[in-house]
Structures are given as structure tokens and as C-alpha cells.
């Protein structure tokens, strides 16, 4: 039998953040929403994280990985692996950029599976994070905020691959 501690996600450094993301993404079935104001090198780029994101993106017709970031151009210039994944799997992985000033001031980062699991970083530029694999209420709240921003955001056209 599993208890609340078995479902808790906690990170205090980059390795812990990667491990928490892997646990969350491996429990997800078809979908993930990632709000990452700044796509810093090394965050959501490890091989195990990328393998789980690829698995999700290719998990079937319902597969969907949505990513919100404030600066897709910078992520593209710096070669962030999430951008490359979105370029390789554009039907399942989408990146959008918020345009509303209030959304652009949002300084936290989070990942959800859109049903019951979330990982929240109060300060996006730090590795400290907390979450749970079984918290539908908080996951629903974060996903609702994500959906609100997503609907008003613009596709990151500048990162799409050129089909030359």
C-alpha cells in the first residue's frame, strides 16, 4: 500500500528536479502541460526526461505535450532540447508564448499531467520544487491557469523547422 510520502514530489537541486520530472512524466498517460518561463540549459533536458516526453508525444492519437515559455527565441538560439523535440514532433508537442503582460510577469514554473500529478517551482529560476502524483485539486487549478494562458498565447512560429 502506498502512502502520501510515496506520492510526494520534492526537489532541492537540479538532480532532484530531474528525478521529480521523470516520476511525474512516467506516471502520465497521454498529456503534459509545462509552464517554463525561461528555458534554462539543463532544465527538462536530461536523457531520462526527454525519453519520457518522447514516450508521451508518441503514445497515441490523444498524445499532447504543451509548453509555455516567455522567450522561445532564446531557447531556440541556445539549442534547448524541448525546442528540438517540438520541431521533430510538431503534431504532438507545441510551444506557445504568452503575450499578455500579466502572464509575462508570472515567475513560477510547473508541470502537470492534466489529471492528478503536478510539480510546482515557486521561483522558476530555482530548483526548489514540490508536488504530488495524487493531487487532482491542485493539478486542476494549475491546469486551468495553464489553459487560460495557452488560449491567449501565440504559437512560437520562429522555432518551427523550415521544410526546405
| CATH architecture of structural domain 19-158 | 2-Layer Sandwich (3.30)
Measured CA to CA, the distance from residue 10 to residue 119 in angstroms comes to 8
DSSP sequence for 93-114: EEEEE--SHHHHT---EEEE-S
**Is the pLDDT reported for residue 1 higher than 50?**
no
Q: Which three cell numbers stand for residue 45?
A: 533536458
Q: What is the pTM of this model?
A: 0.93
Helix (H, G, I), strand (E, B) or coil at 148: helix
Place of cell 526546405: 164
Determine the Cα angle at 135 with ends 34 and 98, to 5°. 25
Confidence of residue 155 (pLDDT cuts 50, 70, 90): very high
DSSP 153: S
- The residue-averaged pLDDT of 129-140 equals 97
**HSE-up of residue 35 (Cα within 13 Å, Cβ side):** 29
Burial of 139 (0-12, 13-18, 19+ CB in 10 A): buried
Q: Which three cell numbers stand for residue 33?
A: 502541460
Residues 12-45: tens digit of each pLDDT: 999 999 999 999 999 999 999 999 999 988 899 9
Q: Which three cell numbers stand for residue 164?
A: 526546405
**Is the pLDDT reported for residue 2 higher than 60?**
no
Measured CA to CA, the distance from residue 14 to residue 28 in angstroms comes to 21
Mean residue pLDDT of the chain comes to 93
Measured CA to CA, the distance from residue 121 to residue 13 in angstroms comes to 11
Q: Which three cell numbers stand for residue 57?
A: 508525444
Measured CA to CA, the distance from residue 49 to residue 20 in angstroms comes to 10
Amino acid at each position: 500500500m502506498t502512502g502520501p510520502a510515496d506520492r510526494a514530489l520534492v526537489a532541492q537541486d537540479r538532480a532532484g528536479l530531474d528525478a521529480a520530472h521523470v516520476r511525474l512524466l512516467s506516471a502520465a498517460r497521454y498529456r503534459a502541460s509545462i509552464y517554463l518561463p525561461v528555458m534554462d540549459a539543463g532544465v527538462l533536458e536530461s536523457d531520462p526526461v526527454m525519453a519520457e516526453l518522447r514516450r508521451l508525444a508518441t503514445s497515441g492519437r490523444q498524445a499532447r505535450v504543451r509548453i509555455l515559455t516567455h522567450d522561445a527565441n532564446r531557447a531556440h538560439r541556445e539549442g534547448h532540447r524541448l525546442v528540438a523535440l517540438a520541431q521533430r514532433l510538431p503534431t504532438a508537442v507545441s510551444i506557445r508564448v504568452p503575450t499578455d503582460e500579466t502572464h509575462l510577469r508570472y515567475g513560477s514554473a510547473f508541470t502537470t499531467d492534466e489529471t492528478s500529478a503536478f510539480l510546482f517551482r515557486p521561483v522558476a529560476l530555482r530548483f526548489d520544487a514540490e508536488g504530488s502524483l495524487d493531487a487532482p485539486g491542485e493539478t486542476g487549478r494549475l491546469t486551468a491557469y495553464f489553459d487560460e494562458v495557452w488560449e491567449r498565447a501565440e504559437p512560437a512560429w520562429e522555432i518551427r523547422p523550415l521544410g526546405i
